[in-house]
Structure formats: C-alpha cells, structure tokens
Amino acid sequence: MIKPFGSDKLNPLYVADDAKRKALIKEAEGLPSVVISSAAAGNAVMLGSGYFNPLKGYMNVADAVSVAEKMQTTSGLFWPTPVLNVLKDASAIKGAKRIALRDPNVEGNPVLAIQEVEAIEEISADKMKLMTEKVFRTTDMKHPGVNAFNSVGNIAVSGPIQVLGYSYFEKEFPETFRTATQLRDVIAKRGWKEVVAFQTRNPMHLAHEELVKMAMKEYNADGAVIHMLLGKLKAGDIPADVRDASIRKMVELYFEPNSVEIAGYGFDMLYAGPREAVLHAIFRQNMGATVLIVGRDHAGVGDYYGGFDAQTIFDDVPKGAMDIKIFRGDHTVWCKKCDKVVMMRDCPHGKDDYIMLSGTKVRDMLAAGEDLPREFSRPEVARILMAYYKSEAGKA
C-alpha cells in the first residue's frame, strides 16, 4: 500500500486507548480551557483522523507564514496551507502549559483535544494579509474562505495536541465518517492496490460519475473512494445528508458491485482552490489512495481561480514530495454524437455537438422544480435532490 505522506507509518493524533483517553478527559476538567473556532476544530479532527499526518499539532506563526509563502514549514516539510488554532482572546489560557480545547460545534462545548502550549503569538495585520493573499489568491472578504480565515481572531496558539473525539461527525454521519486509518484498513481488506479518490462537496451528477469511471479505467484501478466533505460549507450548498443519499443511490445503481467505498471526512471547506487541491492530495495519500481526481475549478468558488489552476499548481510541487498521482480532468460535456459524457480533449467532435454541463444550471432547474435531462443527472439521483429542494421551498 502507498506510504502515508511524510512518514513511514500513519500517526493519527486521536488517543485510541480507552484508559488513556478517559484519564485525559478527567485531566481536562482541571485545565484552563477555551472554545476554539470551527476551523480549528476541523483541524483537530483531521489531525486526530490521521489525514494531516505527519503534523503533530497547530503551527506557530513562523511555520504558518512559511507555508503560505513557500508551501513548506520552517523545517522544510512540504505543506500547502496553514494549520492554525487562532483565537480572538487568549486571556483565559495566559501562562498555561496545557489547555483544553472545547468544541464550538457541539452543544455544551465538550473537550475536543488537549494542547501543549508552545507559544501564544499575535499575528500582525501584515502577516494575516500575506497569508490570505498567498493561500486564497485574494483578500476579498466576499470570498467565503477569506472571510472565515480573517474572522476568527489574530492570536495563534501553537503546539502538539492529543485528540479526544471527532466532534459531531461520528454521531451525525455514522455510516459515512471514516478516519484515514479506517480507510486504509478498508482498502487493505478489499485487496485494492490502485485506488482512485474523488473529492466532493456537492451531489454527484452524471459528469462526476463518468469522471470517476474514466480515472479508474486510465489507471486500471481496483476501486474508488468517493470522499465527501462533511463540515461547514457556504450558504446555498447542499447539506451532507442529502449529498450522501444521492451518492449512495448513484453508486448502488451505476457502479460495479464492491468497486466503490463511500466515505466522508470532518473538515470545513476552505474554498482555497489550488492550495486546497494540494491539501486534498496529501490527505488522500494518507488514507491510502494512489490517484486523486482534480477536475475543473477544484475546490474553487466564484471566479477567483482559473478553471485549471488547481491542476497546474501540481507542476510546482517538489519532485518526490508526494507519491499520489493526479488525474487531471478536462471540461466534461454531453456529446450528442457520442451520446454520452466526454472530456472535450478526448472527443473528436465540435462545440455544436456539445451540451455544457453546468452545476449552476442544475441547481436553478432543481430550485424551479424542473426535471433534469438525462444529460445532467441520473433520474434516481435527481429525484432525491428535487425532494430536498421542494422541502426547502416549503420552508420559505
């Protein structure tokens, strides 16, 4: 199986030993504590799950700035995005060596992790701006990722963590949430060697389905992991439970039996386009995938990134930094002459033969209660999505 990123062995930061975990939970009751941001909680879940291997905790300001500027930490580890615990007010933990991190996304704010405090640093306005520009390629506060990154404060608390839970993800998505360790176990049990990973924060329409099948064919893959984001999204995105139901129906009806694993991970979307695509590649390698599909405008939002910027950034990844391969998806269209979804680069026909597949158009049609044509979506998937949009319209 493919090695984890940055180490020979996966080192998830979740405390799996029951006795040790219970002792730490008891210790946390007497520690200074702070309710962290949703972004920091997502980072803790990803560290606990093994997806952010080989990181041991939250970065200090020097590492975060170095990662933003050069995609590497001060020690030289290749990494594409800052992994921070940023607060607005650190007075409750001043002088503390160990602190309890409380979950902002679960009622009662239970302890999510214990952190050893190596430094508490104020991030200057200039450094916040630099990180924002480098990671998101814009400082526009209308960009949801920029807004989230710049709204949680400017006091960075760095140091290693011990993770005591997976926030709300295990409870709310018991059939879908999986750690990197669990997915490695699944892949090993199935005997898969070549494994394609498909990232999604949206329902999968016909073009997405075909993209997975194209990548599996090109790499002669044994299986695919459809890996959906379960954390916070921007307004207007379809909730995880609806996406989950529609994807499961598509896989059940249109993929070979036992060829696809459906799973999800606990993280808030960054909408950081190219930088987030590289992050996706790292944690897919950690979960055991050998190929990541990077399509048009991967992890993008609005028109902040070029359609294929999330692919060309991999040209800048240092040789040998990652073992995972990248399948670069082209524009997908329905070709009337081929009578199927094709990538434009692979099709001999011209634009007059194409029906463009627009996610925005699909959402508009669903919101209007219109049936989706076969060129856009499987009918069984469309029915699930239409039921959701109908229920939302009823609440308005």
Rounded Cα–Cα distance for residues 284 and 277 (Å): 10
Rounded Cα–Cα distance for residues 243 and 265 (Å): 13
Alpha carbon 159 to its chain's center: 23
3 state DSSP class of 391: helix
Provide φ and ψ at 196, rounded to 5°: -90, 135
Catalytic residue among 201, 248, 328, 383: 201
Q: Is position 147 annotated as part of the catalytic site? A: no
Token digits of residue 20: 């040790």
Token digits of residue 45: 């879940």
Rounded Cα–Cα distance for residues 341 and 295 (Å): 14
Give the residue among 73, 62, 41, 75 at the shortest CA–CA distance from 130. Answer: 62
Q: Are 155 and 36 in contact (CB under 8 A)?
A: no
Catalytic residue among 11, 147, 154, 202: 202
Q: Is position 220 annotated as part of the catalytic site? A: no
DSSP letters spanning 202-254: S---HHHHHHHHHHHHHTT-SEEEEEEE-S---TTSPPHHHHHHHHHHHHHHH
Q: Which residues contact 181 (CB under 8 A, 6 or more apart)?
A: 10, 12, 49, 50
Which pairing describes strands 111-116 and 119-122: parallel, antiparallel, or unpaired? Answer: unpaired
8-state DSSP, 71: S
As annotated, the active-site residues are: 201-202
